[in-house]
Amino acid sequence: MTTFRLPALAVLTAALLAACTNETQNATPAASEASTPKRLAITAIVEHPSLDDIRRGVIDQLKEEGFEEGKNLLIDFQSAQGNTATAAQIAKKFAGDNPDAIVAIATPSAQAVAAATQTVPVVFAGITDPIGAKLVDSWEPSGSNITGTSNQHDIAYDIELMQAVVPDLKRIGYVYSPGEANSVVVLNQLREAAGKIGIEVIDVPAQQTSAVLTAARSLNGKADIIYTSNDNNVVAAYPSMYKAAVEMQIPLVAADSRSVESGAVAAVGVDDYLVGKDSGKMVAQIFRGEKAGNIAPTQATEFDIYLNAKHAAAQGVTLSDSLKKRAKQIIE
């Protein structure tokens, strides 16, 4: 059920407090309070490079803010391994542990944590549509125990990129998990935006990571390009997406930059590490006494184009010089 789980919070807390017993016995209340480690619980729906970058960003930012793991910060990380039932179990455990804050990475984990507690401060990270996922009502401070960061961007950017990769684009294939609210939101946005310019969207569900290869292969002869959003089951199985794309000679375009390393030809994406750092700033505010509900959720504002020339060649497309000039990074 879990991976990379650090030692139990209670054990670590006892050890750290025991080490400073002599100092705290004679300390003033303020000094004693300052010596108590902050406890942070982090959960992710699955582990893949984009979500790992978010988690690393959170931890690095907290260190910059003066909260360092092993000194005055205790971290318990658990992954749901792509299973929503496991995500709910982890959320309930974390709620019972009552840490100083919970960071929930990706929509399914954030929804599970939000359902499990209305008192422990929650910072979601890397959520495509937190309003559609019913985590918050707006981009204003929620007044609840929840805030966080979104990597949402206008689907028009992605369609423009797909047209730059395949100039005569008529049909977009979309592999997604129906159980992920963010993926369904993107599907609806894609249908609406593509429909306005006469492009058809062929959507294929893949409820589990093991179903991604079959779903992708079902698009053979039906799509001119395959688009993938920040769907965690799909991203976790990106080697399967790449395998199918090469077999069918249909290029992949992704919504997250790290998928360009895993198999996509191109992506419009944010720097997930920076998304994590923004979430880390929120956690630091909470550690210092601010209420999560007083911190407004944020959206990413900078997006870049990432290309992979090797993947393009393998999937039967040639990247134009004009597209290359617009890219922030080209992997040869």
Q: What CATH code is assigned to 155-269+304-331? A: 3.40.50.2300
Q: How far apart are CA 301 and CA 149, in angstroms?
A: 11
Q: How far apart are CA 44 and CA 67, in angstroms?
A: 21
Q: How far apart are CA 275 and CA 104, in angstroms?
A: 13
Residue pair 304/257 in contact by the 8 Å Cβ criterion: yes
**Which ranges in the chain are annotated with CATH 3.40.50.2300?**
9-151+271-299, 155-269+304-331
Using alpha carbons, list the distances in angstroms from residue 257 to 105, 220, 229, 265, 266: 17, 25, 11, 10, 8
What does the pLDDT look like over 179-211, one tens digit per residue?
888 899 999 999 999 999 999 999 999 988 999
Q: What CATH code is assigned to 9-151+271-299? A: 3.40.50.2300
- Say which residue the tokens 């040639």 belong to: 318
- Looking at every residue in the chain, the average pLDDT score rounds to 89
pTM given for the model: 0.73
Strand order in the sheet with 73-79: 73-79, 38-44, 101-105, 122-127, 146-150, 298-299
Percent of the chain with pLDDT over 90: 77
The lowest-confidence range among 34-38, 92-96, 108-112 is: 34-38
